[in-house]
Amino acid sequence: MNTSADQAPLEAKPASTAVVAAPPRAFARAENVNPRSGIGNRKSDLLVYALLCAGALMFLVPFYFVLNGSLKTDAEVQAGEFISPTNAPMFGNYPKALSKDRWSFQPALANTVVVTTLTVLGQIVSCSLVGFGFARFRFRGRGILFMIMLSTMMLPAQVTMIPVFVLFKTLGMVDSFWPLVIPAWLASPFFVFMFRQFFSQIPEELLEAARIDGCSNWRIYWQLMLPLSGPVIAIVAIYTFLGAWNDFMGPLIYLNSPENRTLSLWLNGFKGQYGITDAHLLMAASVVCMMPCVILFFAAQRYFVESVASTGLKS
């Protein structure tokens, strides 16, 4: 009798333990749920989106003014009527702005395309080569040279403007595209830093496998490193394209002949002796000149975000 009475409680203990242990786990899960967390997240998301929309509108206001002014008459633009859209859009301003009454648009566009293309290619090739050398080659004084290169970013362009002009004038390259293209083939410290950071993140085992297969350093750079560095190439191409396409100071200094002038100097032709003449045509021409930059940004936006995320400072 005692034996059977003692065994019954022993058999019931596991069941009672399971029943008692369940509520604490359920209670722990309930404690982690905050009924107000969803509302708070929605409010914070709405606030973030509202701030982003407000910032986007602030940046779009100048573009709207230019686009709206390009569809109005010169009198309306001179009166400062940029906000309200016109009832009769003047789409004829665009062919008038691109006509041959001033400097021809087609030669200026061709010159800009040539200078921009050569500049983009020069920055990609030169900066990737230097970045590959700093990232993958071990030599004495590498850190010092890298710091000296980065320190050149502290020099404003105005400091070196006159010495560089004297140099190109001595070489007889003034009034040609060479002073605008050659500096791009000598590497830029900022882009070298981006390529160096990206190349440093590639595993060394991948390069060792390529060397075992008989690849030289040049082949590793050309067939392995460059195909992997698509995001960095995209951001370098975008920044360089925007800088070369919109450059005004360089062509103003080095290009004197009308047949060699770029789009930025062509837009300067709308400025008369007593100020800007035909402001509505100037705005129409500005819209045409900025469209390649806008199209490029939207077409390469994904690569722009990827490059920013992949070229950050990492240990």
Euclidean distance between CA atoms 107 and 262, whole angstroms: 8
**Which residues on adjacent β-strands are paired with residue 276?**
271
DSSP states along 164-190: HHHHHHHTT-TTSSHHHHGGGGG--HH
pLDDT band at 183; cut points 50, 70, 90: very high
* The CA-based dihedral angle spanning residues 25, 27, 32, 36, taken in that order and rounded to the nearest 10 degrees: 160
Q: Has residue 100 been placed in a domain?
A: yes
Give kind and range of the element (H or E) at residue 111: helix 105-136
pLDDT band at 182; cut points 50, 70, 90: very high
Average pLDDT, the chain: 83
Q: Does residue 35 register a pLDDT over 70? A: no
pLDDT band at 195; cut points 50, 70, 90: very high
Q: Has residue 215 been placed in a domain?
A: yes
Q: Has residue 78 been placed in a domain?
A: no
Q: What digits encode the pLDDT tens for the residues 256-271?
A: 998 899 999 988 877 7
Query: Nearest Cα to 157, choosing from 190, 126, 114, 123?
Result: 190
Query: What token pair was written down for 147?
Result: 């710091």
Tokens 């309930």 belong to 30
Q: Does residue 32 register a pLDDT over 60? A: no
Euclidean distance between CA atoms 142 and 144, whole angstroms: 6
- CATH number, domain of 168, equals 1.10.3720.10
Whether the CB-CB separation of 112 and 245 falls below 8 Å is answered with: yes
Query: Nearest Cα to 261, choosing from 81, 104, 94, 133?
Result: 104
Whether the CB-CB separation of 97 and 285 falls below 8 Å is answered with: yes
Whether the CB-CB separation of 238 and 212 falls below 8 Å is answered with: no
Mean pLDDT on 296-302: 81
Euclidean distance between CA atoms 296 and 245, whole angstroms: 12
Q: Has residue 72 been placed in a domain?
A: no
- Residue length, the chain? 315
Name the packing angle between helices 37-69 and 279-299 (round to 10°). Answer: 140
Which residues, other chains included, contact 235 with Cβ-Cβ below 8 Å and sequence gap of 6+?
Answer: 194, 303, 304, 307, 308, 311
The residue segments making up the domain with residue 151 are 96-310
Report pLDDT for 162.
93
Q: Does residue 167 register a pLDDT over 90? A: yes
Give me the number of domains the chain comprises: 1
Q: Has residue 18 been placed in a domain?
A: no
pLDDT band at 274; cut points 50, 70, 90: low
Q: Does residue 243 register a pLDDT over 90? A: yes
Euclidean distance between CA atoms 67 and 62, whole angstroms: 9
Q: Does residue 9 register a pLDDT over 50? A: no
CB atoms within 10 A of CB 261: 21
Report pLDDT for 13.
47
Q: What is the pTM of this model?
A: 0.78
pLDDT band at 212; cut points 50, 70, 90: very high
Q: Has residue 63 been placed in a domain?
A: no
